[in-house]
């Protein structure tokens, strides 16, 4: 009878452990993998689309025809947005109209660059500038995996759970023992200002501050991984706010300068008027603040300023001005003359992003370490007081 009972219980317990123990843990791991690899998967789909379009152009086919023919293969590597764009193209819409109707197909910067290439009548000219953006996803994903995700989903939640359990179950027991060891008088007054009492009195503030910090880190991770793109209404609502934040971040601003200078060089090499080239290059950054600065440069041109003077409205440091002045006298064209500076901006952006991620993560770890240290000092000071009281007794 006992063996039958155990034979029935063991499979049931194993099933319960798989469903309620391993199942949620595996789902959490899959969810973390999905969000951490989101940018890389978007990058790979965009790379595949650009390679496909370029191959079709070399064979003399229109981009619309190439996309429609690939959609017939029903390749699972492509996203649903790709097939939606192919459906629009099959209805007779142009590639420009399809990109406008399906903004989630490509990152906003690549979409703007492709539309600029369509305006030029030669989309192949903008493909090198589009491919330069693929390096960004590697840097952002590395920072997210190494620092942000580990902190957001392991470090801070673990600290909150441990501290909450200690406040509810452990510290009250120590406090009761500590209270019972002392009588009224000096020792009781010493107990009133004991660190354990201070910790218990401020437990609500500590837990609330940790929860707020965790919420802030989660929101940062959501924005960092472009989670707002899942919700178009949220992306539209946050766009002005995010544009200001991204422009304030030095590595993001350097990448905008890289995209702006690369597209400006391509458009100038293609013979586009300087005012139109400045406006189009500003649109390719995908940032409203940068667009406004580019419009100020356009206004400067219309007021009689030279191009090398007008670009100071875009770059306050003046470095872009003398780089562009040098490119004006180069015989290889603007794009090749500006290639070195664009690579330098890319390298500096990568360095600053990784350094900032490490600094922020280290700062939060240090703050949590101080809290843990205070808890350890509190418990050991209480134990020392108990030992001294027992010896004297």
Worst-scoring range by mean pLDDT, 39-53, 279-293, 352-366? 352-366
Does 234 have pLDDT greater than 60? yes
Looking at the structure, do residues 76 and 185 belong to the same domain, yes or no?
Answer: no
CA angle (239 as vertex; 235, 242 as ends), nearest 5: 110
Looking at the structure, do residues 112 and 62 belong to the same domain, yes or no?
Answer: no
Within 8 A by CB and 6+ apart from 315, the residues are 257, 321
Mean pLDDT value across residues 325-345? 79
Looking at the structure, do residues 133 and 244 belong to the same domain, yes or no?
Answer: yes
Does 239 have pLDDT greater than 60? yes
> 259 near 129, Cβ under 8 Å?
yes
Task: Note the pLDDT of residue 185.
Answer: 45
Task: Note the pLDDT of residue 71.
Answer: 87
Greater confidence (205 vs 31) lies with 205
73 burial via Cβ count (<10 Å: 0-12, 13-18, 19+): exposed
Looking at the structure, do residues 269 and 313 belong to the same domain, yes or no?
Answer: yes
Looking at the structure, do residues 72 and 1 belong to the same domain, yes or no?
Answer: no
Q: If you ran DSSP here, which 8-state letter would residue 305 be given?
A: -
Mean pLDDT value across residues 181-195? 50
Phi, psi of 295 (to 5 degrees): -65, -35
Residue from 336, 341, 279, 342 nearest 307 by CA: 279
Looking at the structure, do residues 102 and 112 belong to the same domain, yes or no?
Answer: no
Looking at the structure, do residues 149 and 32 belong to the same domain, yes or no?
Answer: no
Residues 68-118: tens digit of each pLDDT: 988 888 877 788 888 999 999 999 888 888 988 888 888 888 888 888 888
Alpha-carbon distance values, 76 to 45, 134, 383 (Å): 11, 21, 63
Q: Which residue has the tokens 């609330």?
A: 208
Looking at the structure, do residues 156 and 268 belong to the same domain, yes or no?
Answer: yes
> 97 near 88, Cβ under 8 Å?
yes
Greater confidence (162 vs 89) lies with 89
Looking at the structure, do residues 353 and 233 belong to the same domain, yes or no?
Answer: yes
Task: Note the pLDDT of residue 172.
Answer: 78
Residues 296-314: tens digit of each pLDDT: 989 888 888 888 888 888 8
Looking at the structure, do residues 184 and 96 belong to the same domain, yes or no?
Answer: no
Looking at the structure, do residues 98 and 114 belong to the same domain, yes or no?
Answer: no
Our measurement of the distance from residue 350's CA atom to the centroid of its chain's CA atoms, rounded to an integer in Å, reads 13
Decide which of 76, 106, 136 is a domain's last residue. 106
Buried b (16+ CB within 10 A) or exposed e, 379-390: beebeebeeeee
Domain encompassing residue 75: 42-106
Looking at the structure, do residues 279 and 238 belong to the same domain, yes or no?
Answer: yes
Decide which of 75, 106, 137 is a domain's last residue. 106
15: which 2 tokens? 């099933």
Q: How many domains does the chain have?
A: 3
Averaged pLDDT of the chain: 78
Task: Note the pLDDT of residue 188.
Answer: 46
Task: Note the pLDDT of residue 32.
Answer: 67
Q: What pTM did the predictor assign?
A: 0.73
């Amino acid at each position: 009878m006992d063996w039958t009972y155990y034979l029935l219980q063991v499979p049931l317990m194993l099933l319960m452990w798989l469903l309620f123990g391993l199942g949620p843990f595996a789902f959490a791991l899959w969810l973390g993998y999905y969000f951490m690899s989101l940018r890389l998967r978007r990058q790979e789909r965009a790379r595949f689309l650009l390679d496909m379009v370029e191959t079709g152009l070399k064979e003399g086919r229109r981009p619309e025809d190439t996309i429609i023919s690939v959609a017939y293969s029903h390749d699972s590597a492509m996203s649903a947005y790709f097939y939606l764009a192919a459906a629009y193209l099959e209805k007779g819409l142009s590639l420009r109209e399809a990109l406008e109707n399906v903004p989630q197909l490509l990152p906003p910067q690549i979409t703007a660059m492709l539309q600029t290439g369509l305006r030029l009548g030669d989309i192949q000219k903008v493909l090198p500038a589009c491919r330069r953006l693929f390096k960004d996803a590697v840097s952002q994903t590395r920072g997210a995996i190494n620092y942000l995700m580990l902190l957001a989903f392991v470090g801070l939640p673990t600290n909150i759970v441990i501290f909450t359990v200690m406040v509810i179950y452990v510290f009250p027991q120590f406090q009761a023992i500590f209270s019972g060891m002392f009588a009224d008088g000096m020792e009781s007054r010493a107990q009133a200002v004991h660190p354990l009492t201070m910790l218990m009195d401020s437990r609500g503030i500590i837990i609330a501050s940790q929860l707020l910090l965790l919420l802030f880190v989660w929101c940062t991770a959501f924005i960092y991984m472009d989670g707002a793109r899942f919700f178009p209404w949220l992306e539209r609502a946050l766009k002005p706010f995010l544009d200001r934040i991204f422009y304030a971040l030095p590595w993001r601003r350097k990448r905008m300068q890289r995209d702006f200078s690369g597209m400006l060089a391509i458009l100038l090499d293609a013979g586009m008027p300087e005012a139109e080239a400045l406006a189009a290059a500003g649109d390719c950054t995908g940032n409203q603040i940068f667009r406004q600065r580019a419009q100020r440069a356009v206004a400067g041109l219309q007021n009689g300023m030279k191009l090398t003077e007008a670009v100071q409205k875009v770059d306050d440091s003046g470095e872009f001005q003398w780089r562009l002045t040098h490119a004006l006298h180069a015989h290889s064209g603007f794009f090749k003359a500006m290639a070195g500076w664009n690579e330098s901006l890319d390298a500096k952006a990568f360095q600053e992003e990784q350094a900032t991620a490490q600094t922020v993560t280290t700062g939060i770890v240090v703050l949590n370490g101080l809290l843990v240290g205070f808890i350890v000092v509190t418990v050991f000071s209480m134990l020392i007081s108990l030992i001294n009281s027992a010896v004297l007794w």
